[in-house]
Copies of this chain bind each other. A is one copy, B any other.
């Protein structure tokens, strides 16, 4: 089993009385009996408490008003569970929040489901759950329903989490990967590669002058600002997670049947991320981000969107990195300073397994 990085801020967590008899997860925590109920009552409910969750029914009852909804899901298997700048708990909330936000929705409700491995420490679970609660509060979403399963030692990896989310689509907003148009500007909300290299630095034991931190964050606030300011001028948005920026830009090029041209050298990359990438033979353009968004916007709105992004704490290093062309449809090309073009393909798999 991969070593787990502890969560120092929860070192003083005190196990509530009824949970004390079982300091680690046992198979019975996954049954329909008292042990499972105690986990819910003394661990999940105090952390996530809200009116929808408190009913503890088979399903939560939600008031989403009228309007179209967005629904998304992701499972999280990242190792280690805690890393500089984030944790599996923060990722599980922010990942689903961001998938809803880039679809043009206001994220509202999340479900949370845990697959725990026999022997996982309750102290660690509490730290994961606290991180989820903090992330949900920061993103303004509520965790309204959940589930816990337990698998035998050797059939899991401590803790896997699934979240699904429901959001309400902003009226009048029409964004989608198939809506990029020739002439669109391509903007990124900040430096790329931070999340992936934070994970890899921990796994590989790399040390740099400054620690690489994951960019793990909820983007719904920043994206809301962009949509408020630019509305219909925003054609496509996406968070470049697994597969990195290169995969996201390739996907949009393919979905819209257009070419995407990226200016080599325009991509914001932290010096320590660049160093780590060089050391491991990776290209930052393929490395996962967990707190960045890419925007395809009408050229005339590009400067306005950049201003809005840079005014937001999560978008201070936003940059214009390229444009949509009619040439080389369905392909992403990097344009060098000399004017030459180089194709950046979608990768076969993933350079970095279990990054989220």
Binding site for B on A (CB under 8 A): 26-37, 55-66, 68-77, 98-100, 102-103, 105, 109, 111-115, 144-147, 149-152, 154-157, 160, 162, 164-167, 169, 176-177, 238-239, 241-244, 247, 255, 288, 346-351, 353-354, 356
Contacts and interface: CB of A to CB of B under 8 A. Distances in A.
A162 B73 contact: yes
12 contacts: A30-B350, A31-B351, A32-B243, A33-B350, A36-B349, A58-B98, A59-B71, A59-B105, A64-B68, A71-B111, A115-B115, A155-B155
Copies in the complex: 2
A167 B59 contact: yes
Contacts of A105: 59
B29 A349 contact: yes
B353 A30 contact: yes
Contacts of A150: 353
Contact of A111 (B33, B62, B164, B348): B164
B162 A32 contact: no
Nearest to A71: B60
A100 B56 CA distance: 13
Contact of A152 (B60, B66, B353): B353
Contacts of A103: 57-59, 61
A67 to B, nearest CB: 8
A115 B59 contact: no
B166 A71 contact: yes
Contacts of A177: 56-57
A241 B348 CA distance: 41
Contacts of A98: 58
A340 to B, nearest CB: 25
Contact of A59 (B70, B76, B77): B70
A350 B118 CA distance: 14
A350 B61 contact: no
B68 A66 contact: no
A100 to B, nearest CB: 5
A113 B75 contact: yes
Nearest to A178: B55
A303 to B, nearest CB: 26
A175 to B, nearest CB: 9
A346 B33 contact: yes
Contacts of A76: 149
Contacts of A349: 26-29, 31, 33-36
Given A58-B239, A166-B166, A77 B115 contact: yes
Contacts of A155: 155-157
Contacts of A26: 349
A32 B147 contact: no
B162 A31 contact: no
The 8 nearest A-B residue pairs measured at CB: A28-B349, A31-B350, A32-B243, A32-B242, A164-B164, A59-B72, A73-B111, A162-B162
A206 B125 CA distance: 37
A70 B109 CA distance: 11
